[in-house]
Amino acid sequence: MRLLKRIIKDVVKGIENNPNIKGKVGENKVVSVLNPIFFGKVEHRQINNLVLMDDQGKSHQIDHVEIRQNGVFCIETKNYSGYIFGNENQSQWTQCLYKEKHYFLNPVKQNKSHIYYIRKVLGKKYDVHSVVVFVQNNASKINVNGVINLCDLKDYLLNFNNNTSLTVEEMDYIYNTLLANANKKISNREHIKNIRKTQEDLNRKICPRCGGTLVLKNGKYGKFYGCEKYPKCKFILKGSSL
């Protein structure tokens, strides 16, 4: 009996530590909150796990796109335990868990990239708002606009006001256009490979959007890397990675 309990415990621990499974669990929790049954009757369109391809043939997986009368929201889900620390400009954020520190990519920067490709597909006709949701409600130490706890998601979307009022026809257009441009055939392995390729490009100072060279520049708020093809390409890299 003890052996069986230990096996079950090890299996459960393995599932909890699997990033893919943890990610899916977190995404499902966000989907549940966005469900009209729990959210209340509201006109909206929702796309989960949207994959868009860029001009370099690399994939960009977007957890959720929520299309509502008061705006279009690109939602990035994070399912991390412990205390989370970070700011808008850092390239990596910190997870403090059991006296250990772990690092992960800044989700705000990650979501900005997602928004870029969503707007590109939509012909830059609509603003897209970033929302990063920590499903374990441990974002209290993050003071960044649009970074919220799961328990605050409903109120955040209901009360969001950017003077936007989309019609039903516009919501349908955004929804159908994004789906028409979605890549439904790429495998998870291929997507992970693309993520690693993007990180390699950044390390080599290659622009992940157009393939140009990232050049060190001096700006109003300090040094940053900007694409050599500016203003045609406005990608910038700044933060603790410099």
What does the alpha-carbon distance between residue 215 and residue 218 come to, in Å, rounded to a whole number? 10
β-partners of residue 62 are 50
**Rounded alpha-carbon distances, angstroms, from residue 193 to 42, 58, 187, 196, 202:** 38, 9, 10, 5, 14
Query: Among 187, 212, 233, where does a domain finish?
Result: 187
pLDDT at 3: 55
183 and 221 part of one domain: no
20 and 104 part of one domain: yes
pLDDT at 1: 55
Taking only the tens of pLDDT, the chain with its 242 residues reads: 555 455 544 444 444 455 567 767 877 888 887 876 666 667 899 999 999 988 888 888 999 999 999 999 999 999 999 999 999 988 899 999 888 999 998 999 999 999 999 999 999 999 999 999 999 999 999 999 999 999 999 999 999 999 999 999 999 999 999 999 998 776 666 656 666 777 777 778 888 778 888 888 887 767 888 888 888 887 877 654 44
Instruction: Report the side by side order of strands in the sheet with 222-227.
Output: 214-219, 222-227, 236-237
pLDDT at 35: 76
Residue 142 covered by a domain: yes
161 and 236 part of one domain: no
Instruction: Please tell me the total count of domains within the chain.
Output: 2
182 and 226 part of one domain: no
Which domain, by its residues, includes 218? 204-242
165 and 90 part of one domain: yes
